[in-house]
A and B are shown apart, each in its own frame.
Chain A
Amino acid sequence: MKLFIKQNNILPGFGLSLGYTIFYLGVIVLLPLSALVVKTASLSWTAFLHTVTHPRVLASYRLTFGTALLAASINGVFGLLTAWVLTRYRLPGKRIIDALVDLPFALPTAVAGITLATIFAPNGWVGRYLEPYGIKVAYTPLGILVAMTFIGLPFVVRTVQPVLEDLEGELEEAAACLGANRWQTFRRVIFPILLPAILTGFALAFARAVGEYGSIIFIAGNMPMVSEITPLLIITKLEQYDYAGATAIAVVMLAASFLLLLVINLLQWRSRRYAKA
């Protein structure tokens, strides 16, 4: 292993670019994150476990991760549907609709939060129609689900669209020639090709929903054990001067995020392999 870094490479700027990149990451990311880890390490192992497995904390994990999973699944199904319709069908105003799919990505979380809370409150535009049926959206886990679905909306659509667009028509035509109807073609031919992209979008939507704060905090009920999301719990612990406790829960969330990132990267690696095949 010699200087294999600069092998076959006449391009300059390696030191400068990588150096600055690492410096930036170090100051902005690594240093603060290490403060997080060190603070948590000030807890004994038992204290750490006790904090992160407290029933209220566990309930918040269940709520946050569970609802995010559900929201990401909804986005998986409807995202695929949206991508399909946008790619394959003619629609008036398609370009505008397509552009608007990115709205949850560009809209600030707090704005989304107060808007959703206002719409789904018992006297809101939508809430007032659901109220007579006893369906409560605002301040319940259902409201959290709505908020999480909103913010995750673009992910699956945007990961599936490029793959759909690149799909070779010959595959479908071949399937049709061999006697498959549209549903069979979809299920056996198209869907497997789309699956990695769907999964990637799903994982991205999931990751986003888990960490989200601003758009959910206004519509969630914040009742411990029922509708309290984990990020809120972190803030609550902070406000009780329990820094170590807050960082402990944060570390658990971070670990989960890292795991998710790994999964996403793996999925992407697999999908690239598949695409190349």
Chain B
Amino acid sequence: MKHFKQILFLTLSVFTLGALVPFTASAGSELLNVSYDPTRELYQDYNTVFSKYWLKKSGDALTIKQSHGGSGTQARSVIDGLEADVVTLALAYDIDEIHDKAKLLPADWQKRLPHNSSPYTSTIVFLVRKGNPKAIKDWSDLMKPGIAVITPNPKTSGGARWNYLAAWGSALKQKGGSDTTAKDFMTKLFKNVPVLDSGARGATNTFVQRGLGDVLLAWENEAFLAINELGKDKFEIVVPSLSILAEPPVTLVDKVVDKKGTRKVAEEYLKYLYTPEGQEIAAKHYYRPIDKKIAGKYAKVFPKVKLITIDEVFGGWRAAQTKHFADGGSFDQIYTPGK
């Protein structure tokens, strides 16, 4: 009896600990692409095309898994151990953090692929209700009282940070613009924001499905997607006089691909984004292709807009993050009470 009890105890304990036993990975190549919020449809298409291409080229039946969320959130997950073979995030700073905090890739990752590792670019536009009843034409309209602006939370969403910097930049470029006038402008703008979603997709949802707000500050591709998916007769895009060149970069996570032995296929996966086929898929999903020929083909789709870059106006992402989005940065200051 005594022994039986002990055996039972051991069995139960082992069984409990057994809950921790990880499940073995599947045989055959598998890539995990950890991406930001709006790219769901893009990579669904791209992955199908790429795996067909890869099968033909190498005979390897590749499985590609996706994970999506706010860019900052996703970077955090990778730092915490989410084994991404490639990361395709909204801004370079989030990938820099993966280097800084977890050393999973080298510091000069951005130079490894052409065009700052951004196979496609985008920008920020306004999405308004059809007919533009509140006559929103430009950034300065956003701070008018009575206008409800939808944008996600800059602390978690990459798109939100591009929105913020585009708005700030527009204020700087005004006559007599300075950091002080910009901050004043942003304070007024955020007074008009009723809800902060954690990701770009959540914000689009709020504007489009829940019917909240007069204007959505959105990735250009999100705006097009919203119109196509949810009602060409319900919304229209308004292009402001000035916007920011958004470069969502892609890179492979060295430590992971070396451990899993997937470096070659991951490199090919990213390189394929730069080929005409890859660029075509991007353009179809309303991401601005960098290939000049494909861009020419889709020139009519993408509105012309004057673009500022983060380097020229803000001195790069690290500087922008510290000044605006880190604890105590300009965004936090705009939210402190009593100001």
Contact = CB atoms under 8 A, between A and B. Distances in A.
Whether chain A touches chain B in the assembled complex (some CB pair under 8 Å): yes
Interface of A: 13, 15-16, 19-20, 23-24, 27, 55-56, 59, 117, 121-123, 138-139, 221-225, 227, 236, 238-242
Given A23-B13, A123-B210, 8 more contacts: A20-B13, A27-B17, A55-B336, A139-B195, A222-B196, A238-B76, A239-B72, A240-B155
B194 A139 contact: yes
B193 to A, nearest CB: 7
A122 B72 contact: no
Nearest to B326: A240
B247 interface: no
B35 interface: no
B155 A239 contact: yes
Nearest to A123: B211
Given A20-B9, A23-B16, A241 B195 contact: no
A242 B76 CA distance: 10
Nearest to B193: A223
A16 B8 contact: yes
Contacts of A227: 195
Contacts of A24: 16
B300 interface: no
B119 to A, nearest CB: 26
B204 interface: no
B96 to A, nearest CB: 12
Contacts of A16: 5, 8-9
A224 B198 CA distance: 12
B304 interface: no
Contacts of B155: 236, 239-240
Contacts of B336: 55
A239 B160 CA distance: 14
Interface string B188-200: 0000011111100
Given A55-B336, A123-B210, A236-B156, A222 B197 contact: yes
B73 A122 contact: no
Interface string B172-205: 0000000000000000000001111110000000
B79 interface: yes
A138 B212 CA distance: 10
Contacts of B131: none
Q: How many of chain B's residues touch chain A, expressed as a range?
A: 20 to 34
A249 to B, nearest CB: 14
B221 to A, nearest CB: 23
A239 B327 CA distance: 12
Nearest to B69: A239
Interface of B: 5, 8-9, 12-13, 16-17, 70, 72-73, 76, 79, 97, 101, 153, 155-156, 193-198, 206, 209-212, 327, 335-337
A15 B72 CA distance: 49
Given A23-B13, A138-B210, A221-B194, A240 B337 contact: no
B195 A223 contact: yes
Nearest to B331: A224
Contacts of A23: 13, 16
A131 to B, nearest CB: 9
Contacts of A241: 76, 79, 97, 101
Contact of A221 (B5, B156, B196, B335): B196
B72 A240 contact: yes
12 contacts: A15-B5, A19-B9, A59-B337, A121-B210, A121-B212, A138-B212, A139-B195, A222-B153, A222-B195, A239-B73, A239-B76, A241-B76
Nearest to A55: B337
A55 B335 CA distance: 10
Contacts of B198: 222, 236
Contacts of A139: 194-195, 206, 210, 212
Contacts of B196: 221-224
A190 B236 CA distance: 63
Contacts of A242: 327
A56 B155 CA distance: 14
A117 B195 contact: no
B267 to A, nearest CB: 28
A16 B8 CA distance: 8
6 pairs of A and B residues whose beta carbons are closest in the complex:
A221-B195, A121-B210, A139-B195, A123-B211, A122-B211, A16-B5
Contacts of A238: 76
Contacts of A19: 9
Nearest to A222: B196
A23 B73 CA distance: 34
Contacts of A122: 210-212
Contacts of A222: 153, 195-198
A246 B155 CA distance: 14
Contacts of B212: 121-122, 138-139
Contacts of B211: 121-123
A103 B9 CA distance: 37
Nearest to B152: A222
Contacts of B327: 240, 242
A138 B337 CA distance: 24
Nearest to B101: A241
B17 A239 contact: no
A240 B209 CA distance: 29
A273 to B, nearest CB: 37
A268 B244 CA distance: 61
Nearest to A236: B155
A192 B244 CA distance: 66
Nearest to A232: B198
